[in-house]
Structure 1
Amino acid sequence: MAIIRQQFLSKLIDSGNTLAIAKYNIKRSDFPTSSEQDAFDFVVKFSSENEGKAPSYATFVANCPDIEYIPGITDSFDYLARQIKEDVGNREFAKMVNDELTDKFGTLPFAELTEWLTKRVERIKLEVRTGVPSITDITTSGDRFLAEFRSRKSGQSFRIWRSKFPTINSQVGGYFSGNTYAWFARSGRGKSVMVMEDAIESAFQGAVVLVWSLEMSEYEWMARAYSSISARVSDSTQRIEGVDYTVGFDNRALLMGRLDDGFERGLEQFISMLNEIIPGRIVLRASDSEGFMSRSISQLEADIREIDADVVVVDPIYLMDFEANTSRVAGGDVAATSVKLKRLAGQTRAVIHLVTQAEEDASEKGSDGVREMRPPKRAELKKSKAILEDAANVFGIDTLAAEGRGVIELGKGRNGGEDARIELVYLPNYGIVQEIEASTQAEQFAGATGF
């Protein structure tokens, strides 16, 4: 393959400039011999000192005597760059297998070995990229736009998943495939419940939903989900503070394994019918799921592609295996992870819901010790502001579980809706989390038992 690298350098000389180096992501490390590296260094140095120009044939030959200049190369830079990168990939892969993998095989647990192998292969893939293969000129790409428009119209390449909460649909249009959405609240205020409600709502619309529940066990998440799902299809009503509600299975009773005989039989019948009740699928990976060792971006992508997920929940983002903090600034690891998640949403055309935490507020209680509902503002987003910047919408949450009340506030809206406020009935112990009319008096819920 030395001939290809010499052809590339020779074509640079003939072209009179070095633009192809940056365009096709050609690096010094792509040249394996010292003479080739010296020639590459000379061309780059000459270019930097001469306004991007390549050295002349005579100058190149005089300074790089060990490299053969080949005149009249007709192959394109694109072809030559791809061949160079192909050789780099083969060399790197052989090195990984022969030198690195041999040392790690048998010394690492299989899960860690596969994680290392995945990351190593991903790094090789990045090293052999030749840059952006094409550029879209909007004045000449109308046919491509129309094809995508028709594909979206038919629901083939683009989906909007409706929220359970009507105000979110009216203000931002629902959840658009290819976007990330961030939910945040102070600790213990219902972040996971809210996101779970919309994940279930998407499954009722036929979506394949992937849930990474990184704090809760499988049983705990399923108990909450079964309460919510059963409330949607239940014919059981219960009067709570003078209001009749259609309720699902008691979540606390499920967690404690203390349903009475009648409800236990109902639970068995409900579970046997879940495939008929839910048009879509909900695939769960929880904190105690067997074999769930890696919480990396690459593992999430593998899970999304394996089940062809439409909607994804990562709850919470700060328990993922973060990307490397190459920026060396505080929060850089979360920022890098958030950027990768945004890219992943675009590449997989999935909706990705991210859950994170808000800064605690020591002054949220008044002098009388009573706390008012106050959803956190965007400035209170904990861990990294990159989550705010990358998300299409950010939803601040607060609840008063003892009063059966909650609120969602749109803190950022790329497509509108910023500062919209959604008042909720919040009784998740009975599977009830729903929007109420703004005029409804919150006092009617006072004293209701929340979760």
Structure 2
Amino acid sequence: MAAHGQQLLSKIVDTGDVLALTRLGIKRTDYATEGEQRAHDFVVKYAADNGGVTPSLSTFVAEFPDEVCAYIPGVTDSFDYLARELKDAAGKRATAKLLSDPNMQRDFDTKTTEEFVASLTKQLERIKLETRTNIRTFTDVSSETDKFLAEYRARKAGTSFRIWRSKFASINDQIGGYFSGNTYAWYARSGRGKSVLVMEDGAIEAAFQGATVLVWALEMSEFEWMARAYSSISARLGLVNANIDGVDYAAGFENKALLMGRLTDEFETEFETFLRTLNELIPGRIILRAADSEGFTERGITQLEADIRETEADVVVVDPIYLMDYEANTSRVAGGDVAATSVKLKRLAGQTKTVIHLVTQAEEDASEKGEDGVRELRPPKRAELKKSKAILEDAANIFGIDTLAHEGRGVIELGKGRNGGEDTRVEIVYLPNWGIVKETDLADEAAQFVA
């Protein structure tokens, strides 16, 4: 049997570095034998009682003969290596104990598959967290230039991270697109097109670039989300000619007609043909979990990570974040639950190298209509983000949205830009019933007024 616990304690006695136990997160329960656990307790207590000094070799050997916890001279393996091996062995013991627990069979027989798997996953996740080392790797920016160049070349080759381009040219011009490892937040007042914009730019556009996109549509049914998506995708292909307020558009299948099951016979035939060829039209994939998806009961960070890894997603849409199962509010402050969730989402984006688009709500503005009852386009400012400012702080960029659907126009405003672009306004054509959401061509508009 490997003696990594004895090697670690012996190295601490030799080097006098008792703080290694704290740095690496080593606990008494990580050791395989009772003797090693006692030796760990002795070293820790001795250092606490003697100003941080470790016991001498003679003291340690006198206290712990070989049959209890052998001293091993000349250990040259690093603390990091010994800690990893010790933690790995502890994790395997804990896993074996869990799987051999007589209660496991009882739970398997009495719980549903979903309940059993959820319970088992939580217990395995606890073991994973408890047997993780606190090993920290520091980078010297002067001497580790080779590491930087390797990452630079990997990014150049597209193997380290990805940039998914926005549908809107102005956003690409300002921020360069959506970088893997980042979260991006979209917000608007109720009913102003948040879900439509994120579907267009976060999900469908990325899928047309070859991305695997995971969508958590927490407010919409599967049918409603798919109907909107089919309108948008068919509009990109210009499958329908629509005259809207006297203007001819290359459009998609009408969303309301799809929702109500009222396509004309001609359009219904064309729509069925469109659906049969959809896999050939989209280079990537869109994987949907919606409000009414069967078995979609766990909606927290752990489940989202599991879904990302199972689907190997490149891009993730969470719409909206406030319908997720929030992390515990351990800070005991208002908004602490969503703040903790936002931080975990940011970390998750980095760990999985995904782009995560988050949708949230802005505060309502009772004064946005003038005395004549007319409302002008005014995307909300960052101060109007509802629920928690943590979303703003954690996101690489935030996008305020406002639309006037009856006028067929809208605006996206960059409210914060880690890589620039703050206060950029993107004017858009907004006709979602026909799947038309695109940036306004200002050059074409100006040409209309040229004599």
TM score, norm. by length of structure 2: 0.88
Superposed displacement of residue 428, structure 1: 0.2
Residue 346 of structure 2 corresponds to residue 342 of structure 1:
yes
> What is the letter of the counterpart of residue 148 of structure 1?
E
1:260 to 259, 264, 267: 264
Q: CA 1:156–1:4 in 2, change beyond 3 Å: closer, same or farther?
A: closer
User: Residues 80 and 135 of structure 2 are in contact (CA less than 8 Å); yes or no, is this contact kept in structure 1?
Assistant: no
Residue 213 of structure 2 corresponds to residue 195 of structure 1:
no
Q: CA 1:64–1:336 in 2, change beyond 3 Å: closer, same or farther?
A: farther
Q: CA 1:69–1:425 in 2, change beyond 3 Å: closer, same or farther?
A: same
> What is the letter of the counterpart of residue 53 of structure 2?
K
> Could you say which residue in structure 2 is the equivalent of 1:313?
317
> Could you say which residue in structure 2 is the equivalent of 1:12?
12
Counterpart CA distance in 2 for 1:188 and 1:86 is 51
Counterpart CA distance in 2 for 1:4 and 1:306 is 34
Residue 84 of structure 2 corresponds to residue 82 of structure 1:
yes
After TM superposition, list the pairs within 5 Å mapping 1:386-425 onto structure 2. 386-425=390-429
Superposed displacement of residue 35, structure 1: 6.9
User: Residues 6 and 67 of structure 1 are in contact (CA less than 8 Å); yes or no, is this contact kept in structure 2?
Assistant: no
2:273 to 269, 283, 289: 269
User: Residues 358 and 382 of structure 1 are in contact (CA less than 8 Å); yes or no, is this contact kept in structure 2?
Assistant: yes
User: Residues 172 and 415 of structure 1 are in contact (CA less than 8 Å); yes or no, is this contact kept in structure 2?
Assistant: yes
User: Residues 14 and 71 of structure 1 are in contact (CA less than 8 Å); yes or no, is this contact kept in structure 2?
Assistant: no
Superposed displacement of residue 140, structure 1: 3.5
After TM superposition, list the pairs within 5 Å mapping 1:274-313 onto structure 2. 274-313=278-317
Superposed displacement of residue 254, structure 1: 0.5
> Could you say which residue in structure 2 is the equivalent of 1:449?
none
User: Residues 6 and 72 of structure 2 are in contact (CA less than 8 Å); yes or no, is this contact kept in structure 1?
Assistant: no
- Two-structure CA RMSD over aligned residues (Å): 2.9
User: Residues 414 and 422 of structure 2 are in contact (CA less than 8 Å); yes or no, is this contact kept in structure 1?
Assistant: yes
Counterpart CA distance in 2 for 1:213 and 1:286 is 5
SS at match of 1:397: strand
> Could you say which residue in structure 2 is the equivalent of 1:156?
159
Superposed displacement of residue 110, structure 1: 1.3
> Could you say which residue in structure 2 is the equivalent of 1:185?
188
Superposed displacement of residue 75, structure 1: 4.7
> Could you say which residue in structure 2 is the equivalent of 1:125?
128
> Could you say which residue in structure 2 is the equivalent of 1:211?
215
Residue deviations 1:226-268, cap 9 Å, x none? 1111111115333323432211111001000001111111111
> What is the letter of the counterpart of residue 284 of structure 1?
L
More displaced 10-residue stretch of structure 1: 130-139 or 389-398: 130-139
User: Residues 408 and 429 of structure 2 are in contact (CA less than 8 Å); yes or no, is this contact kept in structure 1?
Assistant: yes
Counterpart CA distance in 2 for 1:72 and 1:92 is 29
SS at match of 2:110: coil
Counterpart CA distance in 2 for 1:367 and 1:44 is 73
User: Residues 7 and 75 of structure 2 are in contact (CA less than 8 Å); yes or no, is this contact kept in structure 1?
Assistant: no
Counterpart CA distance in 2 for 1:238 and 1:313 is 30
More displaced 10-residue stretch of structure 1: 249-258 or 394-403: 394-403
SS at match of 1:283: strand
Superposed displacement of residue 224, structure 1: 0.3
> What is the letter of the counterpart of residue 74 of structure 1?
V
Q: CA 1:368–1:43 in 2, change beyond 3 Å: closer, same or farther?
A: farther
TM score, norm. by length of structure 1: 0.88
Residue deviations 1:175-232, cap 9 Å, x none? 1122111111122111110000012111112222221111111110111011111111
Q: CA 1:238–1:16 in 2, change beyond 3 Å: closer, same or farther?
A: same
Superposed displacement of residue 410, structure 1: 0.7
Superposed displacement of residue 413, structure 1: 0.6
> What is the letter of the counterpart of residue 73 of structure 2?
G
More displaced 10-residue stretch of structure 1: 49-58 or 219-228: 49-58
Residue 172 of structure 2 corresponds to residue 172 of structure 1:
no
Q: CA 1:314–1:160 in 2, change beyond 3 Å: closer, same or farther?
A: same
SS at match of 1:239: strand
Counterpart CA distance in 1 for 2:213 and 2:390 is 25
Superposed displacement of residue 104, structure 1: 2.9
Residue deviations 1:337-385, cap 9 Å, x none? 2222222222222211111122223333334433332212222222332
SS at match of 2:413: strand
More displaced 10-residue stretch of structure 1: 220-229 or 235-244: 235-244
SS at match of 1:363: coil
Counterpart CA distance in 2 for 1:241 and 1:95 is 70
Counterpart CA distance in 2 for 1:328 and 1:30 is 31
Counterpart CA distance in 2 for 1:21 and 1:103 is 38
Counterpart CA distance in 2 for 1:102 and 1:85 is 27
Superposed displacement of residue 85, structure 1: 1.4
More displaced 10-residue stretch of structure 1: 182-191 or 8-17: 8-17
Counterpart CA distance in 2 for 1:63 and 1:383 is 58
Counterpart CA distance in 2 for 1:366 and 1:51 is 72
> Could you say which residue in structure 1 is the equivalent of 2:386?
382
> Where does structure 2 lack aligned partners over 5 or more consecutive residues?
none
Counterpart CA distance in 1 for 2:9 and 2:248 is 79
User: Residues 7 and 73 of structure 1 are in contact (CA less than 8 Å); yes or no, is this contact kept in structure 2?
Assistant: no
Superposed displacement of residue 107, structure 1: 3.2
> What is the letter of the counterpart of residue 70 of structure 1?
Y
Counterpart CA distance in 2 for 1:342 and 1:184 is 17
Kindly tell me the number of residue pairs found equivalent between the two proteins: 443
Residue deviations 1:124-147, cap 9 Å, x none? 112112223643333343333333
> What is the letter of the counterpart of residue 307 of structure 1?
T
Residue deviations 1:371-407, cap 9 Å, x none? 3322122222223322222211111111122222211
More displaced 10-residue stretch of structure 1: 326-335 or 113-122: 326-335
Identity %: 67
> Could you say which residue in structure 2 is the equivalent of 1:72?
73
> What is the letter of the counterpart of residue 152 of structure 1?
R
User: Residues 111 and 293 of structure 1 are in contact (CA less than 8 Å); yes or no, is this contact kept in structure 2?
Assistant: no
